């Protein structure tokens, strides 16, 4: 919701265009997502990629609990912008 707060100042057409670009761009990236996911996992910032885009389990520390990201941020911002 905090990310969407900046979008309320956009005109309706710009907001719709933004939402369509995010949603359709997300679907286009599905063809490359397996390679992109492997690249993100090998990075030090892999957890951020999972929170923002991929979702799934994130191990917190070596022996810490597992955090499950059920709703990744970027795709849902696009869906909510279209709504």
Torsional class of 43: left (φ above 0), alpha (ψ -120 to 50), beta (otherwise): beta
**Nearest 5°: phi and psi at 65?**
-75, 170
pLDDT tens digit at each of 83 positions of the chain: 787 888 888 899 999 999 999 888 877 776 776 666 677 667 777 788 788 887 888 888 888 899 898 888 888 888 888 88
DSSP three-state, residue 58: strand
pTM of the model: 0.67
**pLDDT recorded at residue 15:** 92
- Burial bucket for residue 58 (CB in 10 Å: 0-12, 13-18, 19+): middle
At 34 the pLDDT is: 66
């Amino acid at each position: 919701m905090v990310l969407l707060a900046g979008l309320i100042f956009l005109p309706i057409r710009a907001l719709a265009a933004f939402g369509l670009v995010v949603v359709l761009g997300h679907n286009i990236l599905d063809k490359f997502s397996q390679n992109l996911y492997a690249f993100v996992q090998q990075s030090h910032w892999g957890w951020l990629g999972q929170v923002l885009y991929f979702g799934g389990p994130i191990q917190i520390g070596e022996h810490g609990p597992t955090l499950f990201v059920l709703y990744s941020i970027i795709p849902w911002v696009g869906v909510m912008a279209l709504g």
